[in-house]
Amino acid sequence: MSVATKWIKNRAIANIDEKDPSLVFYLPLHYPYSDMTGSTIYSYDRYRRSCTVFGVVWTPQGRRWDATGDDYININSALTSLAATTKGTWMAWVKLDDATPADSTGTITFGDTDGLATMQFIITTTGKIRALVYRGGAMKWDLSTDNAVLSDGVWIHITLIQNAVSPVILINGVQVTQTFATSTVKSEWFAASPGLDNGRIGCNNYNSAGNAQYIRNANVGEIVLSNRNYFIPEVQNYILATKWRY
């Protein structure tokens, strides 16, 4: 079976339509094909974006971050189709050995390499999921689950949806209780931060600080980035189609 055939076959299993133009970036890190196991990998969407892997080891259940604090995946290429968007959905399957890490860890982040702008979807030291947009030296919105949602060594599916009005976090397809620490401009998304020039899985990078807040002792199974806001049933369908791997 060719790589192309495997690509199409497993897309159906994942309930992902690679022809959907709103699917900006799909990275199934568990795929054991030659273009997913090396230091250069390609997104499994219509755009086939090139990404660079630094230290993260392939396993059958996704890439594995070790304890050293220097592993990450560069997804700068995803910004091409995200830069002007006002809506979007981010999804990831993640598992941490320690659900309350010593430092907040970057799951999916975008930043201005040498400026005060960043968008982050992260895991906090208390096991909560937090999402934020920070720009021009000020927090625009900062949303976090009210309670810890992670458990040691247990896979969890996390979703961030921005509908151009206000973001929401889903945990395993459910809108859990969550609170804004800051809600100055809840509608902000990529279009409001034209200086964003890098994307990371497993750390963050902005304001000349270099890579920081690495995920450690963790697995990431797959990443989905869309330029539209998914409906909750869509997220739930995706989880049902992919959770057998986790």
Domain ranges (residues) in the chain: 23-240
- Please, which pLDDT band fits residue 20 given cuts at 50, 70 and 90? confident
Alpha helices for the chain (secondary structure H): 3-14, 34-37, 79-82, 232-242
Mean pLDDT, rounded, for 154-169: 98
Distances (CA, A) of 168 to 125, 162, 214, 243: 20, 7, 24, 21
Residue 61 has pLDDT above 90, yes or no: no
* Architecture of domain 23-240 in this structure: Sandwich (2.60)
Q: What is the pLDDT of residues 186-235, one digit of tens each?
A: 999 999 999 999 999 999 999 999 999 999 999 999 999 999 999 999 99
User: pLDDT grade, residue 2 (50/70/90)?
Assistant: very low
- Please say whether the beta carbons of 145 and 174 come within 8 A: no
Q: What is the mean pLDDT of the chain?
A: 92
Q: pTM higher than 0.85 for the full model?
A: yes
Crossing angle (nearest 10°) for helices 3-14 and 232-242: 120
pLDDT at res. 41: 95
Q: What percent of the chain has pLDDT over 90?
A: 85
Percent of the chain with pLDDT over 70: 93
The pLDDT tens digits of the residues spanning 27-60 come to 999 888 777 889 999 999 999 999 999 999 999 8
Tokens standing for residue 112: 């201005």
What pLDDT was estimated at residue 1? 36
Quick one: tokens of 71? Answer: 């592993």
Of residues 170 and 19, more confidently modeled:
170
Stretch (H or E) spanning 144: strand 138-145
Quickly count: other Cβ atoms within 10 Å of residue 237's Cβ: 14
Q: What pLDDT is attached to residue 5?
A: 38
Q: Rounded to whole angstroms, how far apart are CA atoms 74 and 85?
A: 20
